[in-house]
Structure 1
Amino acid sequence: MLKDGHIHSPYCPHGTKDSFKEYVEKAITLGFKEISFTEHAPLPSGFIDTTPTQDSGMQMDELQSYFHDISIIQNEYHRHIKINCGLEVDYIEGYEVEIKDFLTSFGPQLDDAILSVHFLKHDNGYDCMDYSPEVFGQMVTIYGSIDALYKKYYDTLLKSVNADLGPFKPKRIGHITLAQKFKKRFPTESRFELEVDNLLLAIKEKGYQLDYNGAGCAKPLCREPYPPLWIIKKAIALDIPLVYGSDAHQVKELAQGIDQMEIIKTS
C-alpha cells in the first residue's frame, strides 16, 4: 500500500495556499492509497518562535478549523483514498510539560502524528536549525563546530524519543537527519554512527516508526533523503517500520524523492 505520511496544507504559515482538494486529487493521481495531513502544530505555550519570520507553526485558534476542513475532505473522498488527520509536533527541550498538555487536549482528534526536532536549546535560548544556511552558520559559531551542532541535534532527538509526552505522544519520529539539510555548505567527516545507533535502538525499544522523508532530495545543499540509505539499512535490520513522507508544502512536491529511496515497508 502506497502511503504518504507527511503532508502539509494551506494552514502551513510558511507553505502555499494549495487546497486540501488539490493535494488529495494529486495524491490519487500518483497512486497513493493513504495520506496523512501533518500540519505544523502550534508551538508550545510560552515558547517564542525564534525564526525571523515567526511562522514555524499554526496558531492555536486555527486548530479546530484545520480539523473541520480535514473532516470535510475525508467524507468527500472516503471511497477513493484514506485521509488521516494529523499534526507534526515539535519537541522542544524544556517544554515537555506544555507539549504533553497540548497532546492531552488535542491528541484524541488525531489519526496520525509525527514528532520532530527543529529547535535546539543552548545557554542563550533556542534556534531553528533548518531555517536557513545563514542561521545554521550562526549556530555553528554558537556551538563551536559543525560536529558539536550535529551532536546536539542527535542528543535532542534522543530526548524526544525518551520524553514522557503522555498517551497521545506521536509514534513516528520525523526526518532524523534534518541536520544535514545544508551539508554541502557545512560538511563534516563524521557519520555520528554511535549517536544514530543509540537513537535507532531507542526507537526500536519504544516501538516507534521512522519518517522516511523525501524532502532532502529536493534541497540543493542536501540532495539525499532524511535519513540516507546507510541508516535505512540499519533501521530495516532492527525491523523499525518506515513510513514514506514527501513533507510536501505544496502540491507539486507530493512524491518528491521517492524515486531515489529504498523500497520501503509501511506499518
Structure 2
Amino acid sequence: MIDLHTHHERCGHAAGSMAMYADAALRRGLRTLAVTDHAPLLLASGVDDPAPGMHMPKSAWSGYLDEAVALRDRLAGRLELLVGVEADYIPGREAAYRALLDDQRLDVVLGSVHYVDGFHVYDRTRWSSNADVDGVYARYLELVRAAAASGLFDVMAHIDAMKARAPRPPSAPEREWDATVAALRAADVAVEINTSGYRKVDEPFPAWGLIERLHAAGVPLTFGSDAHRPDEVHHAWATVHAGLTQRGIDALAVVRGRRREMVPLEAFAPAV
C-alpha cells in the first residue's frame, strides 16, 4: 500500500510532525509513504516567506530535506519513506524552481497549481461574488498544462481541485479537457488520484470521469491522500481501490529517485 502525498506542520496549515505521519502509515500497514510538504514559494521578490501559513519558508528547505532523510534512514526495514515535495507552478519562475528541486535527496516532486495570475484559487476569501469562475478555471487548466510541460514535476497533483473552492462549480468545454489530457500524456507525467476530494466534494481529484479519460489516453496514475493530519494518511484507499478495479485500471505509479515504476494493483491490499 502506498500514499505519495502528505504534509506536516512545517507548511503552516497542517498538523503534526513528519514522524507522526510515518507512525500513522505504519499503523495502517503501508509499505511506502512519501513526505511531500509544500515547497517554498519562489516569487521574483526573493522574500523568504511570501505566503506565511501556506508554504515552508525558503530558509526551512534544507532542514526539511535533512529531517526527511534522517527519518527515512531510521525507518529502513519498517517503512519505505520517500523524500518528496509538492511545488507550485509559477510561470516565469521555472529556472528558480529547477535549481531548488535539483537535489539528489529528492525521490518525488509533485506539481500543483494554486495561483492563477497571483490569485490563490483555493482561498475562498479571495473570490468575489461576481467572479468569472469559468474564465479562471480555463486559465487554471492552461497552467496545469504548462506545469506538466515544464519538466519540473514527476506527478501532477489534484488537477481539478479548484472546483472545491470556487463560489460555484466551474465548468470547462470539452476542448479544454481534451487539451489537458493530451498535454499530460505528451509530458509523460503521472497524475495522482487525490482523496482529499472525498473530504471536500465527495469525489476524488480528479473526478472518476476524468480518471477514466486519463487512463484511456495512457497517462500513468498514482495515489495520494493529501493528508494534512496524521489520521488522514491513506484516506479512502479502499474506495479508490474498488473504483480502479471496477474500471480495469490494473497498475499505479511509484516514483523513487525521480524514476517512475508501474506496480500492479494486485500488489496493494484493498482495505484500510
TM-score when scaled to structure 2?
0.83
1:217 aligns with 2:217: no
Contact 2:155 2:191 in 1 (8 A): yes
Deviation at 1:247, TM superposition (A): 0.4
- Superposed displacement of residue 48, structure 1: 7.8
The offset of 1:22, in angstroms, is: 1.8
The alignment covers a number of residue pairs equal to: 245
Q: Does residue 1:129 correspond to 2:121, yes or no?
A: yes
The residue number in structure 1 matching 2:13 is: 14
Equivalent of 1:159, from 138, 146, 160? 146
Separation in 2, partners of 1:53, 1:85: 23
1:228 corresponds to 2:207:
yes
- The residue correspondences of 1:163-242 to structure 2 (distance < 5 A) are 163=150, 169-182=152-165, 185-188=167-170, 190-219=171-200, 222-242=201-221
Deviations 1:172-195 (A, max 9, x none): 111100111136x5134x354321
Q: 84, 87, 97: which is aligned to 2:85?
A: 87
User: What TM-score results when the alignment is normalised by the length of structure 1?
Assistant: 0.84
User: Structure 2 CA distance, aligned partners of 1:95 and 1:64?
Assistant: 20
Residues 217 and 224, structure 1, Cα contact 8 Å, conserved in 2? yes
SS in 1 for 2:5: strand
Cα contact 1:44–1:102 (8 A) shared by 2:
no
Report the equivalent of 1:26.
24
Equivalent residue letter for 1:66: Y
Question: 1:134 offset after TM fit, Å?
Answer: 2.6
- Cα RMSD of the aligned pairs, angstroms, is 2.2
Correspondence 1:100-139 to 2 at 5 A: 100-104=98-102, 107-121=103-117, 126-131=118-123, 133-135=124-126, 137-138=127-128
2:191 touches 2:219 (CA, 8 Å); kept in 1?
Answer: yes
Q: Structure 1, unaligned stretches of length 5 or more? A: none
User: In the alignment, is the contact (CA less than 8 A) between 1:225 and 1:257 conserved in 2?
Assistant: no
Asked whether the equivalents of residues 93 and 120 of structure 1 are also in contact (C-alpha less than 8 Å), the reply is no
Is 1:246 matched up with 2:225?
Answer: yes
The 2-side partners of 1:52 and 1:44 are apart by 8
8 Å CA contact retained: 1:40, 1:56: yes
**Residues in 2 aligned to 1:242 and 1:84: alpha-carbon distance in whole angstroms:** 17
Which whole-Å CA distance do the structure 1 matches of 2:35 and 2:106 have between them?
10
Contact 1:7 1:248 in 2 (8 A): yes
Runs of 4+ in structure 1 displaced over 6 angstroms?
none
Secondary structure of the corresponding residue to residue 11 of structure 1: helix
Contact between 2:111 and 2:157, CA under 8 Å: does it hold in 1?
Answer: yes
SS where residue 79 of structure 1 aligns? coil
Contact 2:2–2:234 (Cα < 8 Å) also in 1: no
Q: Which letter maps to 1:170? A: F
Distance verdict in 2 for CA 1:54–1:19, change over 3 Å: closer
8 A Cα contact 1:12 1:249, kept in partner:
no
Structure 2: distance between partners of 1:234 and 1:48: 39
Identity of aligned residues (%): 24
Asked if 2 retains the 8 angstrom alpha-carbon contact of 1:215 and 1:226, the reply is yes
CA distance 1:48–1:256, shift in 2 (3 Å):
farther
